[in-house]
Structure 1
Amino acid sequence: MAACTSEDPELFFPLPHARPQIRHAKAVCAACPVRLNCLHLALGHGLDHGIFGGFTAEERRGLVRHTSSAGTANKYLAARATSSCVAGRPRRPPRRR
């Protein structure tokens, strides 16, 4: 069921400066029905390379630092995994009026 099964696995292990490749991998993850399972797998096994569930290794480390309990982590991940930044588009701050 994973969207990445039809992609080259190398896509999900880009060099740190390969921004177009990272955006493409995140776009594949954004359309994936099992992206949260993938992300939980990467977090649970301490995978420190590659893109899993739409998150780079650095982003996953940030998730671990900012979430202290499993419940908080699940709520945060669910909100973040459905945000536009997962698809490689930066999230804009809200406009002030």
Structure 2
Amino acid sequence: MENSSKTHIRYREAERRMKKIKGFYTHAMVYFFVNIFIIGAKALDLDPGEKYWEWDLLKLPLLWGVGLAAHGLSIFLPTMILGSDWEEKKIKELMDKNKY
């Protein structure tokens, strides 16, 4: 029974992590397509002699890119630094510490 419970908990944790990763990939795809659309629209609307690469065109991809990078780091960095089973070890440590 305990093994089944642990398997269920691990499945839920994996499912939660998968949803976070899927959310990041969705965010990255929206970032890519929206910025391609904006840059393409600017190229089509360009007047002769007008500068193409201006701050107004670059600030959205740059600032949104910082947010996308932060989103990615929040998902992938903890497992790269702490290891994939860090949460499980920490939970076990805290549960053992709080035993009476």
The structure with the larger Rg is 2
- Larger proportion of helix: 2
TM-score range, shorter-chain basis? under 0.3
Q: TM-score, normalised by structure 2?
A: 0.25
